[in-house]
Chains A and B, each alone.
Chain A
């Protein structure tokens, strides 16, 4: 590891010595696996849509390459840049989300996408990291970092103010409708407040609110109620996707049926996106699925543990909120694949096909990497004394 001398203070050398190389390596492995998984699920999906067999492979390769670039580029940024970037990202995606209500592309009953040239963009994917950064900035006490103690009045004011954010965002998501993303954003908001230190009583209150909200969604949105009904009562209706996915895992067994031997990729319309894990499980087996789970958990837990002793409130809240988004998205997708949760439109980071999802996750993790090294921007004392 002698690429850069420790005394080299150039931007790249500094980056090399401060970046979390393990998380970076895990993310790059994930990108590589995402590239491989498009070969498993992509050609079948393009055959179904009468496209070039490698249509999805080419596109996803571009997205994954861009993702790698974004991760590396963002990880170079400073704490202040991340804050600015996050807020800009939030504002742009928020405006774009409002636009989708009028000019959005409707796919399967939901207007979530904006047509931009040859690409369709899903603004809500990009809104999530922006939302977390904005929340962290709202809750954190100014630019003076850890030196200023927050007065309790100031703290309460900021927390009350932060309530405006979900109030602004959730109705938009409900109108699309995208209940999955709404639930994810709401839970991110709750977790950020929890990490910021609100009293436990309020935490319980938030859980009650979440329950009421979930029940409200069940009552109001017919597609939510049918999905939930089917999940809890499989005999009541069509459980095609969930059943096929489970069969895929069973037929794959622990060691899989072998590359190209899977059948689910021909059967599920979402095999290359939401149900890519079922394709992987069928062809490569349960062991590989468990390996993927361990890889995601590793990124998540190593990421969280980096910020256990973080004094900068903004960094701690922002990084943990971003990691929470990443982890929740992963676990929800995996749970849906294994029929632990009712189906919802949530992708598996980097492994599912989809440009918006890939790039948004890249932004999220690039920011996490940047924040994980932000603390060390100030000269390291033990290095200086050494």
Chain B
């Protein structure tokens, strides 16, 4: 090869050829141009690859919606009673979904899934055949066994999502307190709804005591059966800090399957229902007379004659037909006496006293279902007369319990709560003087010892309280044969710590009550049974078992 004695290194030779103007160099330039075009196209394809696979790429708005759906999955807090027993908890379960666009054989997929699920094949098929949807639920909350079997089918286009399901291990026990969550784990009623509106920590501790709640529910249920009542409710309240220790409304429901119970069962009589309280209201009338009118418990009023107010006449249910002192008015539940006491105070004072006891405004509680009291527009003489013995104002049993707490806790207003409180004593607004509160303890004790509430007493845990029997309002006015029986109480008498309100809706007389269906024969014994079971659970020390009731006579303070 002539002229090629020296051949430079190939790379140098190449460079030289590109730079010179020979035909070869021109060819090299064209080839270089082709390479640049290829590099450019490779760059475009590479950029597209990265763009597609990069995590933030979203071509499909449905996929985005799907992602947000998953992100929305939120765990609900675990709820325990005051002693740490779990009453509501989320468990992780698998739910089966399908992406219809990715299912190649709809018939086969539907057939195989239907064989393992309690869902009809045609229903599944219909879901899978919707070509516009990229996400359909096939079945929610599978058991681990179902999940494993479906997984082993290896079907394309279906998958599992972890979903939390709310479980209420205590079933009906806390139904109205907790409420329930729906299939998407959203709080629909009760505390569950409250927690959605007021986001909370990982766990919530109730003020309620599982054992006390169980005892209350059992006794309430037994009483409801015994007296063939339509419904029953009880609220047990710590009078020092407003903690609700037990609250039951019967009939109730299983929050695990709330919709299997009729709406009536989901109605919370303790907080949402408002009722004319009947004679238990005389406790407030008496307290008002002592606090606002400055009367002493031995002040005497004539109750021998029915009282006429306008066209209306007030009679006593247990007529004593003699002058009665205030203690006797309460113990014998004299309507005439109550009206006379109420009329001792000014119209404004009357209304203000009820307001201060928290009986005229809806009570605030951590369940959204609280009823607004029904109050008269004007507090004229007639209204004030009927209110004095518990007609004309409708309040919830919970309100009665908080008002009772004020009567006997030294005179402080308390805010009821179903959440565990860090402090045993909460000093609220003072409504009554300490002296009035002490007097009320004695008078209410007297009402149990010598009055209509005798069947409420418990030897080891002396009870103070007041009966109340209210006729129910029907289409034709008050019905003498349909009543609500209340019992307002607090215990232990020597140093009250708990207030208890029980109510029986339409209790019927039976042989054991000698034909009576009034509170003294129904709600009072129920109170006794509840206190007997609950007091030891709450750690109360029993009083001397062998002391006779008469030994407490000194408690009826004679100033």
* Smallest CB gap from A286: residue in B: B53
What residues of A have a CB within 8 angstroms of the CB of B30 in the complex?
Answer: 194-195, 197
Whether A246 contacts B35 by the Cβ 8 Å rule is no
Checking B1, B52, B104 against A246 with a beta-carbon cut-off of 8 angstroms, the contacting residue is B52
Among residues 44 to 103 in chain B, which have CB atoms less than 8 Å away from a CB atom of chain A?
44-46, 48-50, 52-55, 57, 59-60, 63, 102
Task: Give the Cβ gap from A351 to chain B, nearest Cβ, in Å.
Answer: 15
Complex alpha-carbon distance, A197 and B31, angstroms: 10
Whether B49 contacts A267 by the Cβ 8 Å rule is no
Whether B24 contacts A247 by the Cβ 8 Å rule is no
Assuming the contacts A290-B46, A293-B46, A305-B35, asked whether A250 and B52 have C-beta atoms less than 8 A apart, the reply is yes
Q: Which of A1-9, A205-213, A332-340 contacts B (4 or more CB under 8 A)?
A: A332-340
Checking A195, A246, A335, A381 against B31 with a beta-carbon cut-off of 8 angstroms, the contacting residue is A195
Task: Give the Cβ gap from A133 to chain B, nearest Cβ, in Å.
Answer: 18
Q: Which of B5-13, B448-456, B470-478 contacts A (4 or more CB under 8 A)?
A: B5-13
Whether A304 contacts B49 by the Cβ 8 Å rule is no
Complex alpha-carbon distance, A164 and B255, angstroms: 85
Assuming the contacts A250-B59, A263-B156, asked whether A340 and B31 have C-beta atoms less than 8 A apart, the reply is no
Complex alpha-carbon distance, A252 and B54, angstroms: 9
Among residues 174 to 199 in chain A, which have CB atoms less than 8 Å away from a CB atom of chain B?
191, 194-197
Assuming the contacts A249-B52, A331-B42, asked whether A309 and B24 have C-beta atoms less than 8 A apart, the reply is yes
* Smallest CB gap from A240: residue in B: B101
Task: Give the Cβ gap from B204 to chain A, nearest Cβ, in Å.
Answer: 39
Whether A316 contacts B27 by the Cβ 8 Å rule is yes
Complex alpha-carbon distance, A253 and B31, angstroms: 36
Whether A293 contacts B53 by the Cβ 8 Å rule is no
Check: B516 CB closer than 8 A to any chain A CB. Answer: no
* Smallest CB gap from A303: residue in B: B35
Check: A327 CB closer than 8 A to any chain B CB. Answer: yes
Task: Give the Cβ gap from B537 to chain A, nearest Cβ, in Å.
Answer: 56
Check: A285 CB closer than 8 A to any chain B CB. Answer: yes
Check: B299 CB closer than 8 A to any chain A CB. Answer: no
* Smallest CB gap from A297: residue in B: B42
When each residue 35-72 of chain A gets 1 if its CB lies under 8 Å from chain B and 0 otherwise, what string results?
00000000000000000000000000000000000000
| Most chain B Cβ neighbours within 10 Å, of A309, A313, A316 | A309
When each residue 16-47 of chain B gets 1 if its CB lies under 8 Å from chain A and 0 otherwise, what string results?
01100001101110111011001101101110
What residues of B have a CB within 8 angstroms of the CB of A249 in the complex?
Answer: 49, 52-53
Whether B31 contacts A252 by the Cβ 8 Å rule is no
Whether A309 contacts B7 by the Cβ 8 Å rule is no
What residues of A have a CB within 8 angstroms of the CB of B145 in the complex?
Answer: none
Complex alpha-carbon distance, A159 and B41, angstroms: 28
What residues of A have a CB within 8 angstroms of the CB of B102 in the complex?
Answer: 263, 267
Check: A382 CB closer than 8 A to any chain B CB. Answer: yes
Check: A314 CB closer than 8 A to any chain B CB. Answer: no
Task: Give the Cβ gap from B34 to chain A, nearest Cβ, in Å.
Answer: 7
Interface size on A, residues (CB 8 A): 46
Complex alpha-carbon distance, A131 and B39, angstroms: 25
What residues of B have a CB within 8 angstroms of the CB of A246 in the complex?
Answer: 52, 59
Check: A307 CB closer than 8 A to any chain B CB. Answer: yes
Whether A247 contacts B60 by the Cβ 8 Å rule is yes
Checking B7, B46, B53 against A252 with a beta-carbon cut-off of 8 angstroms, the contacting residue is B53
Whether A308 contacts B45 by the Cβ 8 Å rule is no
Whether A308 contacts B46 by the Cβ 8 Å rule is no
Task: Give the Cβ gap from A153 to chain B, nearest Cβ, in Å.
Answer: 16
Complex alpha-carbon distance, A338 and B52, angstroms: 8
* Smallest CB gap from B42: residue in A: A297
A-B pair number, CB within 8 angstroms? 117
When each residue 418-430 of chain B gets 1 if its CB lies under 8 Å from chain A and 0 otherwise, what string results?
0000000000000
Check: A24 CB closer than 8 A to any chain B CB. Answer: no
Check: A371 CB closer than 8 A to any chain B CB. Answer: no
Whether B34 contacts A304 by the Cβ 8 Å rule is yes
Whether A320 contacts B10 by the Cβ 8 Å rule is no
Whether A297 contacts B38 by the Cβ 8 Å rule is yes
* Smallest CB gap from B6: residue in A: A381
What residues of B have a CB within 8 angstroms of the CB of A331 in the complex?
Answer: 38, 41-42, 45
Whether B45 contacts A335 by the Cβ 8 Å rule is yes
Complex alpha-carbon distance, A320 and B104, angstroms: 44
Check: B4 CB closer than 8 A to any chain A CB. Answer: yes
* Smallest CB gap from B8: residue in A: A382
Whether B14 contacts A309 by the Cβ 8 Å rule is yes
Task: Give the Cβ gap from B298 to chain A, nearest Cβ, in Å.
Answer: 87
When each residue 301-327 of chain A gets 1 if its CB lies under 8 Å from chain B and 0 otherwise, what string results?
100110111010100100010001001
Among residues 241 to 296 in chain A, which have CB atoms less than 8 Å away from a CB atom of chain B?
246-247, 249-250, 252-254, 263, 266-267, 281, 285-287, 289-290, 293-294, 296
Check: A28 CB closer than 8 A to any chain B CB. Answer: no
Check: B273 CB closer than 8 A to any chain A CB. Answer: no
Assuming the contacts A304-B34, A309-B13, asked whether A250 and B57 have C-beta atoms less than 8 A apart, the reply is yes
Task: Give the Cβ gap from A297 to chain B, nearest Cβ, in Å.
Answer: 5
* Smallest CB gap from A327: residue in B: B38
Assuming the contacts A197-B30, A340-B44, A340-B45, asked whether A297 and B39 have C-beta atoms less than 8 A apart, the reply is yes
What residues of B have a CB within 8 angstroms of the CB of A197 in the complex?
Answer: 23, 26-27, 30
Check: A300 CB closer than 8 A to any chain B CB. Answer: yes
| Most chain A Cβ neighbours within 10 Å, of B1, B24, B53 | B53
* Smallest CB gap from A146: residue in B: B24
Whether A308 contacts B31 by the Cβ 8 Å rule is yes
Complex alpha-carbon distance, A300 and B49, angstroms: 19
Whether A293 contacts B49 by the Cβ 8 Å rule is yes
Complex alpha-carbon distance, A308 and B11, angstroms: 10
Task: Give the Cβ gap from B3 to chain A, nearest Cβ, in Å.
Answer: 10
Check: B169 CB closer than 8 A to any chain A CB. Answer: no
Whether A263 contacts B157 by the Cβ 8 Å rule is yes
Whether A289 contacts B53 by the Cβ 8 Å rule is yes
What residues of A have a CB within 8 angstroms of the CB of B7 in the complex?
Answer: 381-382
Task: Give the Cβ gap from A304 to chain B, nearest Cβ, in Å.
Answer: 5
Among residues 130 to 179 in chain B, which have CB atoms less than 8 Å away from a CB atom of chain A?
156-157
Complex alpha-carbon distance, A254 and B55, angstroms: 7
6 CB-based A-B contacts, threshold 8 Å: A196-B27, A249-B49, A263-B157, A296-B42, A300-B38, A311-B24
Could you list 6 further interchain pairs (A-B, Cβ under 8 angstroms) beyond the known A308-B18, A308-B28? A246-B52, A301-B39, A324-B34, A331-B41, A334-B45, A381-B1
* Interchain residue pairs A-B with the least CB separation, the first 9: A286-B53, A309-B14, A249-B52, A266-B156, A297-B42, A338-B48, A289-B49, A309-B17, A304-B35
